[in-house]
Copies of this chain bind each other. A is one copy, B any other.
């Protein structure tokens, strides 16, 4: 762990002023400097907290969370991040139903934001809707701020949409940066983002999309592997290709898990639903076609069941670089004979990586807090410096 000065020095060399008063939607809408600033601030906040220095930069203020779906872990990550900075979380519980758009969104967004500094939204269930909805909310409060309704501009953090899962991918990457001993060490590393079998269906695409969209920025050799029919959004593949070309990495797609694992430095085997099926599901929900949804579910489970061999086994792990690729997962994983009979990963593999997996997850609250800090403060270097100087203990020291 570096000291605070070194984090501040890193920040001094980066250009990220556009993050101020801005939102965080997709990693590929951010410059690489902005991503580096996010990782650096996350590390700096962790440094301060682990040295028992309070990082409360708000003395009152709300962090609003809006989840379309039950979500214990993301909820706690967001709550932890807000709490770390001094914001109190208020949940806006709208249920799973798609909320109305237009007028209603504009009004509700303003009505709940009079004292809101940040809004965190998770809306990943419907293709073509989640990210759009987030923009509607962000535009609404931006307008409210411009019109003098809101005294502050609540900025938005995308806690998972239909396109990207930026807080997850950024936490995954920070974990790899630490495991590999620095961001530059990720250059040329092979990462296998592969589909894996799960006895459930309809898992969001945002994790694989977020990973290929981000790791291609880092100069990695990114391989996306999945059975035929499990394509991700074509736009995101396009993003990955473009990223790879710019970063000096590569992006490849294969239908062979074995090929992806071969000599990989990092593996990320995880189930997801086919993009086309998710689109169909969105349409069926829109039409209120319950029978159609049930039929689609059945069909998808049957389709999944044809690919039970897509499992992260010990055998496959042996084929990775020195037989010890870093195993990643956003958790919870479907573990063979633990959470289900056949799943994404063999129990012994999962067991061996449990500690790193938990560590991986532990970065998320700090990533979210870093996004908030960069959105709300013009000069985060000075904020960090002054926090250390102030030296207020997080836990009272007598």
Contacts and interface: CB of A to CB of B under 8 A. Distances in A.
Interface of A: 46, 49-50, 54-62, 72-73, 75-77, 79-80, 83-86, 88-90, 92, 102-104, 107-108, 110-112, 114-115, 117, 144, 147-151, 331-332, 335, 338-339, 355, 358-359, 361-362, 364-365, 376-377, 379, 382-383, 385-387, 392-396, 398
Nearest to A62: B83
B339 A103 contact: yes
Contacts of A107: 331-332, 358
B57 A76 contact: no
Contacts of A77: 114
Please name the 7 residue pairs, one residue from A and one from B, whose CB atoms are nearest each other, closest first.
A382-B398, A57-B396, A80-B115, A54-B59, A386-B398, A383-B398, A149-B358
Given A72-B92, A92-B72, A60 B50 contact: no
B385 A398 contact: yes
A194 to B, nearest CB: 22
A144 B273 CA distance: 32
A110 B358 contact: yes
A86 B72 contact: no
Nearest to A86: B60
Contacts of A335: 103
Contact of A114 (B80, B110, B338, B355): B80
A12 B184 CA distance: 55
Contact of A112 (B76, B89, B394): B76
- Of the candidates A46, A89, A355, A387, the one having the most CB atoms from chain B within 10 angstroms of its own CB is A355
A80 B103 contact: no
Contacts of A46: 151
Given A57-B396, A148-B359, 20 more contacts: A54-B60, A56-B59, A56-B396, A58-B395, A59-B392, A60-B86, A61-B395, A72-B112, A76-B92, A84-B115, A88-B88, A102-B338, A103-B335, A104-B332, A114-B361, A147-B358, A149-B358, A149-B362, A377-B396, A387-B396
A57 B90 contact: no
Nearest to A81: B115
Contacts of A147: 355, 358
Contact of A88 (B83, B149, B150, B362): B83
Contacts of A62: 76, 79-80, 83
A58 B359 contact: no
B110 A149 contact: no
A58 B88 CA distance: 15
A78 to B, nearest CB: 10
A394 B60 contact: yes
Nearest to A361: B111
Nearest to A347: B103
B103 A83 contact: no
A268 to B, nearest CB: 18
A158 to B, nearest CB: 20
Contacts of A387: 396, 398
7 contacts: A60-B86, A73-B111, A107-B332, A111-B331, A117-B395, A149-B362, A386-B398
Given A144-B358, A151-B50, A83 B110 contact: no
Contacts of A359: 148-149
Contacts of A79: 62, 88, 90
A249 to B, nearest CB: 30
A131 to B, nearest CB: 23
A103 B347 CA distance: 11
Contacts of A151: 46, 49-50
A338 B396 CA distance: 47
B376 A103 contact: no
A110 B354 CA distance: 11
